Amino acid sequence: MSQQAKRPFSSFRVLSFDIYGTLIDWESGIHDALQPLRSRLPEGNPLKNDMLALGELFNKHERRIQAESPGLTYDCVLRDAYIGLARELNVLPADETSATQEGVTFAESIGHWPAFADTVAAMRKLKTFGYILVPLSNVDRTSFGKTLSGPLAGLKAPFSSDELATSPALPNGAKITPDAPLDPFFNAVYTAQDIGSYKPSLSNFEYLISHIEKDFGVAKNEILHVAQSLFHDHAPAKKIGLESVWIARGEDGKSGMGGKLEEFAAQNQISFGWRYSSLGEFADAVESELRELNKQGHR
C-alpha cells in the first residue's frame, strides 16, 4: 500500500465527508433493522450473531443494485437489498405483500441509524476552525434530511461566544463568528440522487471536485476527503488523486461494509495519508496543529 505525503491540515480549505459509516453508525443501524430477517434464521446459522459476515452479505446486494440501477434512490436500494438478502437466505415472509412491507420498513429505518458518540462534537469543532464542510453521500435527499433532523440535530445548536473565542482558526481567517447561521450546518450537500450514480463511481468524485470549484472557488488540491469505507471512498479517492483521511471505525478498522484493509492494501488500491480511530481523534489532531500554527503566528 502506498501512502500519501502528509500535508498540514491548514493547507486544506474543504473537508468532504462520507456520512453513513463515518458520521453515522450504519452497521449498527442496519443490523438492528435486519432483526425481522435474523429472527427467521434457523438456530445454529452463524449469520444469526455474526454482524460482520451478515453486513458483508447485505453489502453484496446493496452494491449489486447500485451498480445495476444507479438512478434508483437510496431508499429503494435499501428496500430491494433487504428483500434480496432475505431471498438468498430463504427467510422471506410467506406472502409478497409482507415481504415488500418489511423492505420498506427497513429502508425507513435510515432516519434512526445512530450517530457515533463523537460525531456531533467533532463536526462542530471542525466547523469553528472555518473549514467548508461538504458531505458526499450515497443517499437520497429525503433520507439525509431525516438524519439531519434526527441523529445529527445537535449540529445546529448555537455556539457560545467562549467556544468560538478559544477555538483556533485556519490561516485564511475563515473562522466562523457567533452570528453565523448553523442551519444548514453543511455548506453544501452532494448526494447520489443529485449525481445519478453511487460511490465508488468516479463520477461522484468528479462531481465533488467540479462543484467545489464552481460553488466555492476551491481547487482539488485544497480538498481533504474524510471517510471510513475503503471500498466506497478511499479506493476511488486514490484513483482520482484526492487526498484522504481514513476514519478506522470499529475494532482495528474492521468493517463488514467498508472493505478489509489487508485486501485493499495488498492490491495497492488505497493510499490515504492519515488514519484515526474516530472522527473525534481526527478533529483533535487538526485542533492541535492549528493551535500551534496560531501560536507561531502571534510570536
What CATH number should be reported for the domain holding residue 98? Answer: 1.10.150
Question: Is 4 within a domain?
Answer: no
Query: Is residue 3 situated within a structural domain?
Result: no
- Residue 239 domain flag: yes
Q: Which residues of the chain have pLDDT under 50?
A: 298-299
User: Could you confirm whether 183 is annotated as catalytic?
Assistant: no
Does the reported pTM lie above 0.85? yes
pLDDT at residue 299, rounded to an integer: 40
User: Residue 63 sits in which domain range?
Assistant: 26-112
Task: Provide the edge-to-edge strand list for the sheet that holds 223-227.
Answer: 190-191, 132-137, 14-17, 223-227, 243-247, 274-276
Residue ending a domain, choose from 96, 112, 128: 112
pLDDT at 179: 76
Task: Classify 175 in phi/psi space as left (phi over 0), alpha (psi -120 to 50) or beta.
Answer: beta
Same domain for 282 and 191?
Answer: yes
Rounded distance, CA 72 to CA 80, Å? 10
Flag whether 50 is in a domain. Answer: yes
Residues 80 and 149 in one domain: no
Pair 248, 228: CB distance under 8 Å: yes
Q: Are residues 158 and 83 in the same domain?
A: no
120 and 105 in one domain?
no
Q: Which residues of 48-69 are buried (b: 16+ CB within 10 A; e: fewer)?
A: eeebbebbbbbbebbbebbeee
Active-site pick, 18, 25, 80, 233? 18
The C-alpha atoms of residue 271 and residue 248 are separated, in whole angstroms, by 14
Rounded distance, CA 254 to CA 89, Å?
24
Question: How high is the pLDDT of residue 254?
Answer: 65
Question: For the packed helices 51-68 and 74-88, what is the interaxial angle rounded to 10 degrees?
Answer: 120
